[in-house]
Structure 1
Amino acid sequence: MDVEMNPETAPESVTANELLKMTSEVVAAYLRNNPLPAAQVSEIIGTVYSSLRALSDRNGEMPAEPLKPAVAIRKSIGDDYIICLEDGKKLKMLKRHLRTNYNMTPDEYRAKWNLPADYPMVAPSYAKQRSAFAKKIGLGKSGSRGRRASA
């Protein structure tokens, strides 16, 4: 196998010297446990170098696996809870959980999981309860209540 091990053509993500050093370490470890005829050593070196270089060319990125939610999306909304698709936890309010555990906004969460813009961040019964409480104390009504007279 003819593989050119030229330090000038090594990828930028791993320096040429690092690539050669990794190759020598891998080959040395392999040969310690697998004795080979001298004629095959250069083939092993070329194979290892090619493999490490190919991995380096990808900048360490592995192919993205399709996202798999902790629960089915349609089952993630219950009346008294909403289930986080990241970890499967049942919650009343999802926004704070996303921020503290995943440093994610609701919009980022919706985009990641392909959710509609109106996907709720709180359990439906909790939203109704908070709405009823707000109406009871007079929030959302127009009028002079709660406003200050302009000076």
Structure 2
Amino acid sequence: MSKTLVQMTAEIIQSQITSKQMSTEEIKAALNETFQALKSLQDAEAGGMLETETEATATVMDPKKSIQKNKIICLECGQEFKMLSPKHLKSHGLTSREYRKKHGLSARQPLCAKALSERRSQSGKERGLPDNLRKAIVARTKKKATSE
């Protein structure tokens, strides 16, 4: 059978009294503080259990603010990452497309920290990707025009 908060509080304070001298006022204050701390822990624990039991995932944070300079915060579980990997999203039963749609992010929004996205963009520019992409698009449109 589990102990009540009052019983747990009494045991904690009894342990404190045996290790140091306390006045009556100190004992009363310690009892009150310990009881309040245990009560708040119990309430937090009960609240946490209710959240995990219900599958309602209320967005606590603005989705646009979840993508920060050096981290991205998963809006499903609250964990911080450099990038939301497909493996992590799969643990929530989502694909990256479903995650973006669920939280109102654009389809082209990278699911990674802004600094990482900027580094990738800069790296691509240094390798000449924008120019090569432009050439490929022009070649494809010419090929499509001649086949019609």
Structure showing greater radius of gyration is 1
Q: TM-score, normalised by structure 2?
A: 0.43
Structure number with the higher helix fraction is: 2
